[in-house]
Structure 1
Amino acid sequence: MDLDAVRTFVAVVEAGRFQDAAADLSITQQAVSKRIAALEKDLGVRLFTRTPRGPELTIDGQAFLPHARELLRAAERAVASVLPGSRPLRVDVIASRVAASGLMRGFHRAHPEIELDVVMLFDIETAVAALSSGAIDASFRAVAVPGRPLPEGIASVRVLDEPLQLLTGPVHALASARSVTVARLAGHRIWMPGIVPGTEWAAYYDDLAAEFGLTIEATGPNFGSDALLDTIADTPALATFMGEQTRLVWPAGHGLRRIPVTDPTPVYPHSLLWHRANPHPALASLRAHLAATATGHGAAGTWTPDWAIPR
């Protein structure tokens, strides 16, 4: 159904005359007549009776009027739903307990007026496809892994270098250390069942292990962080890596230790990705907030893979 014709029908009803409706719509009286005639043809009924006093609604016209008005209101709502800034800013944070989620909580505290829709997408291919289609507005990822450049139109900026920490149980050989050098970790078993081949974090830990001769194991099923913490607490020979800003809670009896890693400190390079053509005004606010609060990258005494993009 032609919405212009429906709009013209309602305008004639409200104005009372074709001529006045034409003036209200900034079209000719002839155009009004043609639109009404086309609408009547589409519906198969007469909507107006022409009288010396002007057009009067027929019974069918009276029945159609409330629905015509609702059609126009629905059209207005449809347009408003996609106006820039009229919907929540959709951001992918990968997981709820990681640094990206903390960055978005900080943004929300700074800008409570901006409505957010936080989603969690697993792999970078899914995230980039969602950015390209407009299903999400931004995503936090580590880029750009060799051989996997970002598609044309996807922009990125490095927003956080997150130091890694070693997590051990209470009787692990390194549990009493206030800090531990990367070199000292050689020969120790670092267990990370959450590493999935093909992900950007798998590429990161592969390079870390190769650079410093570390033993990083991704064997066994991944039952989640609670099961990982249980195993680390009960197994003296195992430790794991986690980001400094990863939020975890464990039973007091576990006695787990979070130990800074130094000389150099491996840092995980978090970047914000978005589509250059995305018009959502809150996206600019998010980028400005992250630029103002981001930590420096490439600081002395830190390590990142060669492929990590600069700021």
Structure 2
Amino acid sequence: MISMEVSNETRVRGFIFKGLANNQIEGVSFFTFFLLVYVITIVGNSGMVALVCITPHLHTPMYYFLGFLSMVDLCYSSVITPKMLADLVSRIKSISFIGCALQFFFFAALVATESILLSCMSYDRYMAICHPLYYTLIMTEKRCIGLILIASSIGFSQSSLQTVCIFSLRYCGWNHIDHFYCEGPPLLKLSCSDTFSCDLLSMFFFCSFGMASMMIIVTSYLLIASSILRMNSTTGRRKAFSTCSSHLTCVCIFYGTTLFIYLRSPSSSFDKQDKVASLFYTVVIPMMNPLIYSLRNHEAKTAIRQV
């Protein structure tokens, strides 16, 4: 009896996205807009990486991190946006089971890497402002590369475990994902297996790495604010704040949208607000980061003018 049930069970070979547009006119409009956003993302992030590489006076810890942040933004936007653009002008928005697993793996890895990288950048700013005499001794090129490798290793390790857990579940019958890319919560809703272990694993990684990274950032900026307030010089305060404002802006945007999605109740439906928030941090934030750093950073603007 059991064998007959297993043999008659329809296993999912792929998924179909519900997508963003409700009709063809919306699809074309969204396609035009997000294609422009993606082109700006490619140009902005590639340009920032090139700028850091070819400008000698930007070979400092802050810009090493910024260059790698631009690479991460470029990659994780490219994991989502090209497929989303194709789906906006397609009648059937389908993706294979393996394709969905790969998309989830790289996206989860790169988002976690960015989260940890942002905390490394806040630590770098803390050392530069609160301990300037020891900054060059502690934040060496070797240590910066080490922190970048640690962030990448943690990001890809946790993503591997989550991908194996989620895509080892059984998916049978309904295969329509109420989203525009493969993300954990919508996928788990489709599974006909018990998802408790995967939910627990995702929550563990979010709390241990995501919340830990955010606490490092908050602690760093509290210490930075305390140090800035103790400065006697108004010019010194303004310069110290300007070196942190770009990073702080990126952190607020990134964590604001991420927390909105992942701290929602698991039982709540995945509605339009969640899609807008997901769209913001998968497509818009990678475009905004290089613009924020280039427009609000005097050294970056100077380097751009020289080039």
Query: TM-score scaled to structure 1, two decimals?
Result: 0.23
Point out the structure with max Rg over C-alpha.
1
Q: Which is richer in strand?
A: 1
Q: Which is richer in helix?
A: 2
Query: TM-score scaled to structure 2, two decimals?
Result: 0.23
Query: Higher relative contact order at CA 8 Å, sep ≥6: structure 1 or structure 2?
Result: 2
